[in-house]
Amino acid sequence: MVDLRKRDEIRRKLRRVSVGVAGLGGLGSNAAVSLARAGVGRLVLVDFDKVEESNLDRQYYFRHQIGWFKVDALTENIRNINPTVEVDEFNMKLKKGSMEKPFKDVD
């Protein structure tokens, strides 16, 4: 049997966690959605790319989002799943020396 006190404690801890996701393709988009479903309090999403039709079979995007920036599309999808998660978007390509800005406050 599940100890409900532990479950509630875990949920409280997750709400205080901040996670950064670099790249919102097949792995990153699905990881971000799973983290939102788990109840993480804040997500920092970083990508420079746009949603393409070829992404739809393996990434967490929808047909009406083709042509959108991935950070915008995924933010919409996450807010539909869990409106309480804080989402910070960075539409940028990560390069050496550019990672500090988006990820400076993540756990």
User: Residue 22's pLDDT band (boundaries 50, 70, 90)?
Assistant: very high
Express each pLDDT in 24-82 by its tens digit.
999 999 999 999 999 999 999 999 999 999 999 999 999 999 999 999 999 999 999 99
Q: Between the CA of residue 83 and those of 54, 57, 76, 77, what are the distances in Å?
A: 28, 25, 10, 10
| Band of pLDDT at residue 2, cut at 50, 70 and 90 | low
CA 29 to centroid of chain Cα atoms = 6
Fold that domain 12-92 belongs to in CATH: FAD/NAD(P)-binding domain (3.50.50)
How far apart are the C-alpha atoms of 32 and 43, rounded to whole Å? Answer: 7
What's the pLDDT score for residue 99? 85
Distance separating alpha carbons of residues 73 and 46, to the nearest angstrom: 12
Show me where the domains of the chain are located. 12-92
Round to whole Å and give the CA distance between 18 and 60: 20
